[in-house]
Structure 1
Amino acid sequence: MPLQPHETAFTRKPEPPCPVPVIPDAATALAVARTLAEDFSKSAIARDLDRDLPFGEIARFTASGLWAITVPKAYGGTGVDSATAAQVIAIVSAADGSLGQIPQNHFYALEVLRNGGTEAQKRALYGRVLAGERFGNALAEIGQRDHTRRTRLVRDPAGWFVEGRKFYCTGSLFAHRIPTLVNAREDGREVAYLAFIPRDAPGVTLVDDWDGFGQRVTGSGSVLFEGVRVEPDWVVPFGASLDRPTAIGPFAQILHAGIDLGIGQGALAATLPFVRARARPWIDSGVERASEDPLLLHALGTVRVRLAAADALLERAGRFVDAAQAAPDAESVGAASVAVAEARASSHRAGLLAANKLLELGGTSATNRAEALDRYWRNVRTHTLHDPVRWKDHWIGAYHLNGRLPPRHGAL
């Protein structure tokens, strides 16, 4: 599957991996995230306007040790709880939604590894994370509903090979390894695996072709695989981990909730000083300053309540995910999926509301391109399209009314 005539291979390499510090606990992880986010926020506008891919920021993000916080303690990592992982992502997303999204699939791949990997695979791949490697992703494909045409894992006497093309591979441009969803034909059926493929393996080509109006610097390009040789110990069962009850799906989704929540929190944080300094009251309000406009105050209060509710639901959902990870069965995983769906539906709506109100309450001056306040709306609107919230509402209702357990997959 060669490059198309209009495509160019992306050749910039990430920094060589370097061993990272092991953050001692959840409180320290949150403190480190806040320090980094404060610094990342200073250059967020320029990155968005210029589409400046954040290689330097991602290197610092990794070197902080935050990309290793979900490595279990038994394998040398911090082993933070699920809510902490989501809150770290929210904190960074408030500063820059793209930077907050980039590690989501890295953490997701580590959760797949935790559930499906052998002890040898866990030791090796967790060890690579502690040595400073970043994992991207190559999961999605365009229009490939036919399993037989999806990216293939081919086993033959000469070795194992991967062939195919992936789209929207968030973080792949910055990654040292690219966990890739592949299908193999076994005993007359399609079986899914996650292959942890080095980005510099012969036959791997990256294309910087993500052109969405939001989340512009997530490194979400396409990845092509042409006869890429893979070692068996890079290949971790994926489908089998979803066939049985595991917390892979709700863990993935709580991280997505953190992205939407964080972008909304960032939008509110940008709204307050803008309204104080530059917004004007409406002529019918009878007040001299926008900060005294009663309808504006009502709108800001609503945004604050929605974000606080989403934050609380995120913390609550984290406890359900932790319980499902500790004792996975149909009931605990189903309850975790629903609790996370509630958090995700809330963060979805709260994030959009906060970004909308930033522009609405700021007025026309809030559309000044140089200040890029629209980036909050563009980012949260783009990310909230990741999985349809209407189906989260559906399964929340079906669970609470009829006791129906939701399906097990990474999108709920």
Structure 2
Amino acid sequence: MSTDTLIAPPDAVTAAAEPATPAARLTSTEQALDVARNFAATLETDAVARDRDRILPWQDIERYSASGLWGITVPQEYGGLGASSGTLTQVIATIAATDGNFGHIPQNHFYALEVLRVGANHAQKTFFYDRVLRGERFGNALAEIGHNDYKRRTHLSREADGWFVQGRKFYCTGAIFAHWIPTLVTALENGLEVTYLVFIPRSAPGVSITDDWDGFGQRVTGSGSVAFERVRVEPEWVVPFKASFDRPTTIGPFAQIIHAALDVGIGHGALKATLPYLREHTRPWVDAGVDHASQDPLLLHQLGHVHLRLRAADALIARAARFVDAAQAEPTDASVAAASVAVAEAKALSTQASLLAGTKLFELAGTSATVGGLGLDRFWRNARTHTLHDPVRWKYHAIGNYVLNGRHPPRHGAL
């Protein structure tokens, strides 16, 4: 078992240590994919125990960020690889196939990097990209709980003695492991409400994290609640957010394609776990008239269907990635809308495929596969939990409205 420790009590969640050495600099797509495959292989041994016992994987997180994978989307002009969306989604899916938690933890880190690319000034990009390339991690504090109007209650106030953030956030994936917590805030300017993303140091006075995420899936993603009690921030840490959606940008589709990659990765992990169980343990149904489950014709039909859906989702994600890259290079109303719809198509199918793979694992493997010690339920639980991130029914609506009526999807982070 890993030497990582069990999740600490809520009052003992402390800040991540600063990186002891700079993260590796990855210089090619092939190298990034190879590093991702090697890292994923190291996660497999303890994946069941981490999920079962809710072990916060601090040492593995440190190895993950030290590998250089967390900096692959930093643009080349700032010293990074400038990885394509296709490369990023392959990295995410590869890791998520072994452990869906690890696929999810850096999602908002990459999201914040895209917000910086789109909306930050040169000095801000230079500062934050350099921190990331040295191995520092972004979490997130975006969502709020207890309201149904989607208004943000976390507020940035500009006072004579400084700028301060006050508020509470929920489901802050990766925040426990983060060095910086990008936080969605509102501020009043000339009587109007303006939205910003403020990059707040995890160790800043007034920042506290409660490890209160107790969902049945994605159990060790570091998704606690974050409270900000009059946290002082510097103007240089404040990046425009709503302004980035007032014009066509790729922030929304970029965020969503990572979710799609995570889902399909979990599905591939479920299929990978299904195959040896069918070969070694599952009995054929009596009416099949065969000696081994691997010869059961109806089982083979269903297994082929799972494989096909996952491969189709892979193809749609790869296609959507090309649309996202094109829109990043030349963001227009048309290119961003096309990217958003392509990603919505991929997200709709990856949701179906991931849930199908997790369900068919048990349907085909049989009752013995439900034994708790095997931990095979983690694939379905993780897929079911993560695919609830935003309602896929609205993906179909956006696709249909675009195809039939030529209507562009709304520009926001949830599509």
TM-score bracket, shorter-length normalisation:
over 0.9
Which residue in the other structure is 1:357 paired with?
Answer: 360
| Whole-angstrom distance in 2 between the partners of 1:44 and 1:149 | 36
Which residue in the other structure is 2:33 paired with?
Answer: 30
- 2:262 aligned partner, one-letter code: I
2:70 aligns to what SS in structure 1? Answer: helix
Compare 48-57 and 19-28 and name the one that shifted more: 19-28
- What is the Cα deviation at residue 125 of structure 1? 0.3
| Whole-angstrom distance in 2 between the partners of 1:249 and 1:381 | 22
Which residue in the other structure is 1:346 paired with?
Answer: 349
- 2:141 aligned partner, one-letter code: A
- What is the Cα deviation at residue 149 of structure 1? 6.0
| Whole-angstrom distance in 1 between the partners of 2:27 and 2:10 | 43
| 1:322 matches 2:325 | yes
Which of 117, 121, 136 is residue 120 of structure 2 equivalent to? Answer: 117
Compare 199-208 and 187-196 and name the one that shifted more: 187-196
| Whole-angstrom distance in 2 between the partners of 1:12 and 1:288 | 56
| Whole-angstrom distance in 2 between the partners of 1:27 and 1:399 | 36
| Whole-angstrom distance in 1 between the partners of 2:151 and 2:269 | 43
| Whole-angstrom distance in 1 between the partners of 2:53 and 2:124 | 40
Which of 15, 18, 43 is residue 17 of structure 2 equivalent to? Answer: 15
* Contact 1:144 1:150 (8 Å CA) reproduced: no
2:226 aligns to what SS in structure 1? Answer: strand
Which residue in the other structure is 2:307 paired with?
Answer: 304
| Whole-angstrom distance in 2 between the partners of 1:230 and 1:81 | 32
Output aligned runs, 1:108-257, within 5 Å: 108-145=111-148, 150-257=153-260
| Whole-angstrom distance in 1 between the partners of 2:268 and 2:13 | 35
Percent identical pairs in the alignment equals 65
Which residue in the other structure is 1:262 paired with?
Answer: 265
- What is the Cα deviation at residue 377 of structure 1? 0.3
Gaps of 5+ in 2: 1-8
Which residue in the other structure is 1:386 paired with?
Answer: 389
Using structure 1 for the length normalisation, give the TM-score: 0.97
- 1:54 aligned partner, one-letter code: P
- What is the Cα deviation at residue 11 of structure 1? 2.7
| Whole-angstrom distance in 1 between the partners of 2:381 and 2:232 | 39
| Cα deviations by residue, 1:282-323 (Å, 9 ceiling, x for unpaired) | 111111111111110000000000000000111000000001
| 1:62 matches 2:70 | no
| Whole-angstrom distance in 1 between the partners of 2:18 and 2:100 | 25
| Cα deviations by residue, 1:209-247 (Å, 9 ceiling, x for unpaired) | 000000000000000000000000001000000111000
- What is the Cα deviation at residue 187 of structure 1? 2.0
Compare 142-151 and 228-237 and name the one that shifted more: 142-151
| Whole-angstrom distance in 2 between the partners of 1:150 and 1:113 | 23
* Contact 2:140 2:173 (8 Å CA) reproduced: yes
| Whole-angstrom distance in 1 between the partners of 2:10 and 2:61 | 23
* Contact 2:15 2:202 (8 Å CA) reproduced: no
Which residue in the other structure is 1:3 paired with?
Answer: none
1:83 aligns to what SS in structure 2? Answer: helix
Gaps of 5+ in 1: 1-6
> When the two structures are aligned, how many residues end up with a matched partner?
406
Which residue in the other structure is 2:6 paired with?
Answer: none
Could you list the structure 1 runs, at least 4 aligned residues long, displaced by more than 4 angstroms after superposition: 145-149
- What is the Cα deviation at residue 15 of structure 1? 3.1
- What is the Cα deviation at residue 189 of structure 1? 1.7
1:70 aligns to what SS in structure 2? Answer: coil
| Whole-angstrom distance in 2 between the partners of 1:148 and 1:200 | 27
Shift in alpha-carbon separation, 1:68–1:270, aligned structure 2, 3 A: same
Using structure 2 for the length normalisation, give the TM-score: 0.96
Which residue in the other structure is 2:5 paired with?
Answer: none
- 1:290 aligned partner, one-letter code: A
- What is the Cα deviation at residue 183 of structure 1? 0.5
Shift in alpha-carbon separation, 1:149–1:304, aligned structure 2, 3 A: closer
- What is the Cα deviation at residue 8 of structure 1? 3.5
Compare 141-150 and 372-381 and name the one that shifted more: 141-150
Which of 97, 106, 114 is residue 100 of structure 2 equivalent to? Answer: 97
